[in-house]
């Protein structure tokens, strides 16, 4: 139950904490989340797939499901603060939860990005292809 409605200044303060860029520093991925009556060991799942070089389509689908859930949960908690559905004390307790969801979202989104070494290798291959195409156009190959 809400003890006292939070002021506009308190609401603004909490939302600034949520949206600050450094908010996820020191935050960790939640240990578990509940998705459709299933407890998912989120942190374990992340570290299990983070070390893989290639993800199977079923794993990618599971990541999309988890991301969808995390985003919905994050928006729901932010809405509670934004709409002042909670008192200031409860809002303060929601900020670290939102930040840990942000941390998890960022971590899972980065799984789809190629590792730096792989990205450099791909760029070198693409540059080499462009060079070969250019040389062919100029009649040098």
What pTM value is reported for the model?
0.69
Domain co-membership, 134 together with 94 = no
3 in any annotated domain: no
Q: What is the pLDDT of residues 64-83, one digit of tens each?
A: 888 999 999 999 999 999 99
1 in any annotated domain: no
Paired residues of 35 in beta bridges? 38
Domain that holds residue 13: 8-110
pLDDT at 130 over 70: yes
Check if the beta carbon of residue 29 is closer than 8 Å to that of residue 100: yes
Domain co-membership, 100 together with 125 = no
Compute the half-sphere exposure of residue 122: CA atoms within 13 Å on the CB side of its CA: 7
Domain co-membership, 18 together with 70 = yes
- At residue 135, the pLDDT reads 78
Domain co-membership, 59 together with 128 = no
Query: Across residues 104-113, what is the average pLDDT?
Result: 82
Domain co-membership, 124 together with 138 = yes
Domain co-membership, 75 together with 128 = no
Q: How confident is the model at residue 118 (pLDDT cuts 50, 70, 90)?
A: low
Count structural domains, the chain.
2
- At residue 25, the pLDDT reads 59
């Amino acid at each position: 139950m809400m003890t006292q409605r939070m002021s506009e200044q308190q609401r603004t303060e909490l939302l600034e904490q949520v949206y600050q860029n450094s908010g996820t520093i020191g935050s960790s991925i939640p240990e578990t989340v509940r998705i459709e009556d299933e407890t998912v060991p989120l942190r374990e799942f992340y570290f299990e797939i983070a070390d893989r070089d290639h993800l199977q389509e079923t794993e990618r689908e599971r990541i999309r499901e988890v991301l969808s859930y995390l985003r919905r949960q994050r928006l729901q908690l932010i809405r509670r603060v934004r709409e002042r559905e909670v008192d200031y004390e409860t809002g303060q307790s929601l900020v670290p939860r939102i930040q840990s969801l942000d941390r998890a979202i960022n971590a899972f989104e980065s799984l789809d990005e190629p590792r730096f070494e792989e990205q450099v290798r791909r760029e070198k291959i693409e540059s080499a292809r462009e060079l070969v195409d250019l040389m062919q156009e100029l009649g040098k190959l």
